[in-house]
Amino acid sequence: MIAVNSERLDMLQQAFPSLNEREIRDLDSAAQVGHYPAGAVICRQGEWASVFYVLCAGDVTVTSVLGGGEWETVLHRASAPYYFGELALLGDGVRSATIRAATTCETLEIEKQTFRRLANNNPGLRQELFRQLSQRMQTNDRLIIDQLNRQNAALQAAYENLARQDRMRSEFITNLSHELRTPLTAIQGFTHLIKLGVVRGEALQEGVEAIARNVDKMTWLVNSLLVLYEMQLTAPRLSPTNLNDLLTAALNEALTSPEYADRVVSVALAPDLPSVFLDVAGVTLALRLLIDNALKFSPGRAPVLIRASRPEAAWLTIEVIDEGVGIPVEMQGQIFEPFFHWSHSDDQRLFSGLGVGLSIADYIIHSHGGRIELESDPGRGSTFRVFLPAAAPAPLSQGTPSSPNPLTA
Question: Is 220 a residue whose pLDDT tops 60?
Answer: yes
Contacts of 252 (CB under 8 A, 6+ apart): none
Where are the chain's structural domains? 5-151, 165-231, 239-389
**pTM given for the model:** 0.50
Q: Rounded CA gap, 12 and 15, in Å?
A: 5
Q: How large is the average pLDDT for residues 185-214?
A: 82
CA torsion sign, 128 to 129 to 130 to 136?
positive
Task: Tell me the per-residue pLDDT of 266-315, one tens digit each, with 9 for 90 and over.
Answer: 889 888 788 888 888 889 889 999 998 898 888 777 889 999 999 888 89
CATH assignment, 5-151: 2.60.120.10
Q: Rounded CA gap, 236 and 9, in Å?
A: 67
Task: Tell me the per-residue pLDDT of 237-247, one tens digit each, with 9 for 90 and over.
Answer: 888 888 888 89
Which CATH architecture group holds 165-231? Orthogonal Bundle (1.10)
CATH number, domain 239-389, options 3.90.950.10, 1.10.238.10, 3.40.50.9100, 3.30.565.10: 3.30.565.10
Task: Tell me the per-residue pLDDT of 356-408, one tens digit each, with 9 for 90 and over.
Answer: 788 888 988 988 889 999 999 888 899 999 999 886 554 444 444 444 444 44
Contacts of 185 (CB under 8 A, 6+ apart): none
